[in-house]
Structures are given as C-alpha cells and as structure tokens.
Amino acid sequence: MPDEKQIPGQAPEQADPRYKETLLLYDESNHAVQAVSDLRHSGNDYQVITTQPLSENAPAFFQLKDSPAAAAFIAGFKSQKDKENFRFLRVAADKVGEVVQALHNLTNDPKDEAGLKTLRDHAVTSYQLDKVKFDTPDLHLQELQQMGIIVSPQELEAMKLGLPTKEIHDLNFKLGNMSVVGQFALSPYRDKNKEVQIGLQSVLARPEYEREEYKLAFSTSDRETLAAGRTLDRLVELPNPHTGEKEWCHVGLNRATNRFVTVPHREVKEIGYFNGVRLTDAQKEIAMTGGRFRVEGCQARNIPDLTYAGTVQFDVFSREYRMTDYAYNRPYIPASLDKQLDDRQRTALTGPDGLDCSKEKEKPILGKNGKPYTCVLRIDPKTNGVVFDFSNQRRQEQEQEQKQHNQQARSEEPKQSRGRKR
C-alpha cells in the first residue's frame, strides 16, 4: 500500500497531463541565462540554439521529449573546449520565468541562497537524462486521467525512470466490453512495436515468490532478501511479463504489490568504474553475475583527505549500482561546526553518545541561524553525516510537563475541613 496516507477529504496532488519540460542554458562565468530552442550537431560540432527566456518566446522553447538523445548531445557539447562554464537546467515550461528570475539574483550576489537552490534543483547532467526511460509525453497522462487514475508527481518521476511505483489505485471502469475492478499499480513498458504502454499490476495477497512455479527457484535466504526490500545477489531466469520470453534478470520485490521487480541484465551497462575507482576484472565479473563486491579508496567530493569504502551491487529499485555498508577513513565534521569545537567536544561528537549541546552553557554550539543547539549532536558512522538527536530534549520537556501537571493536580485537591471537638 502507499507509504503516505491521504488526509480524508483532501484531493490527491496530480501530475498535470499538459506538463512539458524544456532546457535552459546557464553560463556560470557571467550568470547569463538563455532558453534553449534547438540542439544541433554535426560530427564533433555541437551547437545550442537559444532565445531570450521571455513568455512571448515560449512557442520557440525546446520541448524535452527524448531525454537519452538530449543526454548524448549534452555529453558531446560539454566535451568541447571552452564549454566547462555552461550548465543545462531542466525546467517545467510554464516555470521558466520564475527560474530565470531566481537565477538573475546570482548576478548581484553569487551567494544568494534562493538562486543557488534554484541552480541545484534544476541543473541536469547527461548521466541523469540518460537514466530516463519514458518521457512525460509518452506516459498517456490524459488517457489515465479519463480513466479516473490520479498520477502524483512522485509517481510520475518513478515512471519516467522505469522504477517500481508504490502508489495503489482503486479502479472500477469499463475497457470496451471488459470491466476492470481492483487495486493496481502503474507499470509503463514498451511493446513489440516499441510503443509505450501503461500496464496495470494487480496487488497480490502473498509475495510472488510463493507461487507454485517459483518455489524451487528461490531459497529461504533469497526470500528473506526479497522480503527485506533488497536486490538478490544473483541473476534469476524469469519470463518477461509482457512477452513471456525468459531472460536473466536482476530481481527485487515491490512490497506495495508483492510482485517481482525485474531488470533484464542485457539492459544494465557494463561497469568499469565506481565513484572514481577503477574496478578489477574480478569485481567486473561479480557485477556481471549480479553479485556484491567491495570497493575501497573512493574519494569524498571536495575533501582531499577523506576516503570511504563499501559494498557495491546493482539495485533494481534505482536501476543503478549503489554502495552500502559505508566505512570512512575518519569522521568528518563540517567546517562551520568544527571551528566552534575544542578537543573535548570533538571527541564527544565522534563518540557513540554524541555531544549534548544543552550542557555547553559556557561555550554554546551555534546553528546556522545563530541560535544555540539544545540537542545531542553525533556523527553517523554509516553516512559520516551529523545527526541532530532531540530525544533527550523531548524527554526533558515531557518530564517537565508531567511535573507541572502533578503540581497543578495537587493544588486543585479539595482541602479537608477539620471537625470541631466537643
């Protein structure tokens, strides 16, 4: 079932069936922004045709409807000399004006928070675009709306990447002479003619691996892995749900529908590097069989002396190789926090109990808003990030509230009158 509960009486947020995306070209050297109207290349020459990002020019804006092709162009464009300052931004066509206005703030103040956030939110790389399997215009949003299916923006993003959706739709409609009734998740796919179709996956009462035909295909360990929401560390030969043809797949389980999530191994690109580390032939061989392998010596971004290691495996839920079981060569304390700490505080921060900021009265630890922290700070060894633990503070507040409540109850107790002696 869906992870997020809908508030009774509140209409679910819906992806706009008319939604269109375009590209902007941003020059970091002078903060200039142009709207892309066309992408042209011949041989090794890549040209971006642009226009002013004004509402009257909207009909000329480039429509992003073939993300892999755009990804290939951007990769070629960025490989040219003198193009390192240019960044592409992916923007909803009707939000171009808002995005451009926010970016213009960087002209006067390169550290403007709203401008930098806009840049982070919309910047897109060739790698990100290449992951898109289904562009928005191909996903039949208008037809789904007519069938009474409300596609959320989060669901739309998952469908574009070919990821398993967790939203469940209660459907009751007629399709020709056939009635469709039940609970379904949406599953886009390409048919034999390469046309995009939207499949309806019904919700199973029990996990699919418990079906009779799969009882011998999955071990007890396999079932535990699938039930835990992880990808198996081996390939399994399974029938394609649309063609019936068997192929070797990476396999997981969509716990919202209890159905397999499969990615044919032929669709997984061969991996040669992971986070800048060149893989050995042995690691590549393990990757080819769907297994897990250890990678060490990954360099943390912008921190020269910080490295990490972990276990890498192809993940069907993100359709990319992911690292787990992170191990860092040392704890990392952000500079804004580190400059406030002495040796005792650093030791406490990196220890298992953390640093209780509520006790730092003489030298309070300040947040970005300039106010003292009152929580416990600690470094999460799995992510090397700072954890803000307010559990002690909430417990103290609850104890204080209970104490005040008890005092109030005692003060309101009726006083017993004393009888007179005769």
Which tokens belong to 332? 């990392």
| Cα(23)–Cα(243) distance, integer angstroms | 36
Predicted confidence band of residue 204 (pLDDT cuts 50, 70, 90): very high
Cβ neighbours of 112 (radius 10 Å)? 17
pLDDT digit string (tens) for 387-412?
Answer: 998 887 666 666 677 777 777 777 76
Closest CA to 410 of 420, 398, 402, 400: 402
Which tokens belong to 176? 């020709």
Which tokens belong to 54? 């004004």
What does pTM read for this prediction? Answer: 0.76
Question: Is 169 within 8 Å of 181 (Cβ atoms)?
Answer: no
pLDDT digit string (tens) for 130-177?
Answer: 999 999 889 998 888 888 888 988 899 999 999 989 999 998 877 777
Instruction: Give the residue, 233 or 243, on which the prediction is more confident.
Output: 233
Quick check: 121 pLDDT over 70? yes
